[in-house]
Each structure stands twice: as C-alpha cells, then as structure tokens.
Structure 1
Amino acid sequence: MMLKKLAALAIVVGGLAAAASPAFAAEPEDTLVLTLKDGDVTIALRPDLAPKHVEQIRKLVRDGAYDNVAFHRVIDGFMAQTGDVQYGDMEDGFNPRAVGTGGSDLPDLPAEFSNEKFERGIVGMARAQDPNSANSQFFIMFAPASSLNGSYTVIGKVESGMDKVDNIKKGSAAQNGSVADPDRIVKARIAADN
C-alpha cells in the first residue's frame, strides 16, 4: 500500500513539475544563444508572435552580424540594448558617437505588436519613433515595463542565463544609459546550427 501511495505521489509531483514549466519551449531553430563575457544566455525566439522579426534576427545571426556587437545602452532596472551591427561592432568599426543609430543592410520591418507583456527576461526590438523602423537592434528586460506593452515587438524570452544579463555593464543614468567601454555579444548563434 505504501508503495502505491509513493507512486501516486510521484505522478502528482511530476505533473506539478510539468505544469510549472514554461508555456513556450522553443525548438533549436528558434533558440538564440548569446555568449557574453560571463557565459551563455539562451533565448526562446517567438516566430508565433513576430515571424518577420525572428526571420531577420536568424539571418543576421547566421551572417555573424551580432558577433562582437556592444551593449551600447544599458539602464539599471530597465533593459540592456544591443544589436547595432552598423556602428556597434567592437572589433570592426565601433563608433561610440553613432552607436544606437544604426541597423543592418536588411530592410526595416513592419511592427508585429502582440499582447505579450514586457516582463523580466522579455526580448524586444528597438526602433525609432516610427513603429515600422525596427531593424537589427534589440533589448533584454531587467524588470517589467508596462509602458512598452503593445508598442514594441516582442521577439522572445530568456530561458536561461538571466544572471549573465544582470552582469552586463550598466550605463550612465545621466546619459540615458550610454555605456563607456561597453560589454559585448562575444558570439551569437542559432542552436540548430551546432
């Protein structure tokens, strides 16, 4: 009888563990791995929310465009922004005055806003004032920011390595998060490409 009770308890606990797992688990093709100074950050991309943005991110990753790109704007308690492949490459053409204003050679994208909330670990696309101006830059949230909900495209969420994101060098509050001698994406890859 005791053995049956233990087996039933194992099934219940196993079911609770499954229920506690994330609602969205990305396939390797939709898993972005960013290697930072302290280790890897794994991001579940969301083509179900933003298919055009995710496709563009995948293309840029596979072209090596994000390798050595700076986290040029990092605001403590808000977000870490990177992805300026035009001016942010720390080994080839880094321009501290222009970083944050560039994109890629690919076209800007039409907004793909969703009901997904901007919470800790959410990855969103940066853009100019025009909602249809996202290109290559993205940001990772340190904390919730409801003011962004429905106004920026969500492309994914950090699955593991958020502690590495927390360790990204922060910028000056007086300079809107601009970072002197910024940290970088050492390497970006899609998990399916291993």
Structure 2
Amino acid sequence: MRRAKTFFAGISLLITLTFAVAEEPQLGSSRVVFQTNYGDIEFGFFPSVAPKTVEHIFKLVRLGCYNTNHFFRVDKGFVAQVADVVGGRTAPMNAEQRKEAEKTVIGEFSKVKHVRGILSMGRYDDPDSASSSFSMLLGDAPHLDGQYAIFGKVTMGDETLRKLEELPTRKEGIFVMPVERISILSSYYYDVDGDSCEEERSLLKRRLAASYVETERWRMKCFP
C-alpha cells in the first residue's frame, strides 16, 4: 500500500512539473541590452504571449528611443521601472521616434506570473493605455498577475538590478524613486540565432549609432 501511495505521489509530482514547464513561455531569439551607468541589463521577448507589445517595444528599441532615457522608479523587492520615453529622455526625439513613442498598445494580459526578472508594461487605469514605460520585476508580485501585460524577461544583468536596489531612494506619492538619475546611456539588440561574425558587426554598428546620439546630445547642449 505504501509503495502504491509513493508511486502515485511520484506520478502526481511529475505531472505538476510537466505542466509547469509547459506553461513557461518560450523566449524569441531577439535580445536587447540596456547599457546603464550601473551596468548592462539584457532581456528577451515572449512573442507568443504578447505579440503586439513585443513588436511595439522592439521597434522603439530599434529606433533608439530608449537611449538617454532612465529608470524613474526603483522599489526594492518590487520593480525597477523604465520611464516613458516621451519626457523621459534627455536627447530630443526625431519625428519617426515620436510617432512610434506616442502609440499605445492593447492590454495583452496572460496567465504568466509576475516573478523576479519578468518585464511588465506600465499603464494608466485604461487597460489599453500602455505605451513605452515598463517594469523589470525585482521580486514576486502576484497581485499584478492578469492586470499588467507581461512581454519578456531579463536574461542577463541581475547583478545590475541588485546594484539599483541598493541605491538611495526617496518617496514621492506612491512611487519609490532613486535620488540620483539611473540613465540608459545607450541600447543595442542582436539575435541569438545569428551568425557570430555578422552579429559582432551588427552590434558594433548599433553601439556606434548609440554613441552618436549621446555625442549629439552634448553637442546641442554645449555648442548650440
């Protein structure tokens, strides 16, 4: 009888683990890297979970919209939130960037859980008001499940997130905000399935482009 109970308990555990694995979203091959003044953070997307959100955020990245933006909120154990690029950047936006940045996406809510490392869109009361601000989860937040659109997760750079959690903060309304600006100096993207030589060449081009944006910002500020 004891053997039978042990056998069925083992089968039950196996089924539970199988379903848990099956429910884990599959990452696409695209990766994005935010280069901050405290280190790099790399993340990937869940195109099968939130296709429209992924398309929108990835286009903003490709246009360089997150360059010179910042993390306006860091609540230890909860979220590190990237500011809306309209108003969050220090560099001016061109017409193409602004057009995409002012778009909103429908709320693609799913059964994926809000746990550390997950990327989740910010929004107002309107469920379809998400634009370009999103959070990187710094802990489990089950109260957000099904309420905010999850579209990816951090793949590298948890040590950078831990650095951000230790920075001095101040309370402003409901937000816990860093005392000093946490800047996204530049960003770039690559494909994990791409050819290594082409990948390195592409990375270099994007880094040079990001550097140009920052140089141009300082030129406009210091030599108007």
TM-score interval, normalised by the smaller of the two chains:
0.7 to 0.9
SS of the residue aligned with 2:85? coil
Pick from 140, 144, 148: which aligns with 1:144? 140
Aligned to 1:114: 110
Measured after TM superposition, the shift of residue 26 of structure 1 is 3.6
- Give every structure 1 segment of 4 or more consecutive aligned residues whose post-TM-superposition deviation is greater than 4 Å: none
Query: Relative to structure 1, is the Cα distance of residues 112 and 72 closer, same or farther in structure 2, using a 3 angstrom cutoff?
Result: same
State how far apart, in whole Å, the 2-side matches of 1:78 and 1:52 are: 25
Question: Does residue 188 of the first structure (1) align with residue 159 of the second (2)?
Answer: no
SS of the residue aligned with 1:41? strand
Measured after TM superposition, the shift of residue 27 of structure 1 is 4.3
Question: Does residue 37 of the first structure (1) align with residue 37 of the second (2)?
Answer: yes
Alpha-carbon displacement from aligned partner over 1:52-89 (angstroms, at most 9, x marks no partner):
11101111111111011111111112101114111111
Q: Map residues 121-160 of structure 1 onto 2, 5 A cutoff.
A: 121-160=117-156
Aligned to 1:12: none
Structure 1 unpaired stretches of 5+: 1-19, 94-102
Which AA in structure 2 matches 1:177?
A: V
State how far apart, in whole Å, the 2-side matches of 1:170 and 1:117 are: 29
Question: Does residue 67 of the first structure (1) align with residue 52 of the second (2)?
Answer: no
Aligned residues: 164
* Structure holding more helix per residue: 2
TM-score (norm 2): 0.66
Aligned to 1:49: 49
SS of the residue aligned with 1:77? coil
Aligned to 2:170: 172
Measured after TM superposition, the shift of residue 36 of structure 1 is 1.8
Query: Structure with the greater relative contact order (CA < 8 A, sep ≥ 6): 1 or 2?
Result: 1
State how far apart, in whole Å, the 2-side matches of 1:178 and 1:150 are: 25
Alpha-carbon displacement from aligned partner over 1:129-173 (angstroms, at most 9, x marks no partner):
111100100010110000000000001111111110121245324
Measured after TM superposition, the shift of residue 37 of structure 1 is 2.0
Alpha-carbon displacement from aligned partner over 1:84-128 (angstroms, at most 9, x marks no partner):
1111113459xxxxxxxxx96442111000111000111100000
Aligned to 2:198: none
Structure 2 unpaired stretches of 5+: 1-20, 94-98, 192-201, 204-224
State how far apart, in whole Å, the 1-side matches of 2:178 and 2:100 are: 21
CA contact (8 A) 1:61 1:188 kept: yes
State how far apart, in whole Å, the 1-side matches of 2:170 and 2:187 are: 26
Residue identity over aligned pairs, in percent, reads 31
Aligned to 1:100: none
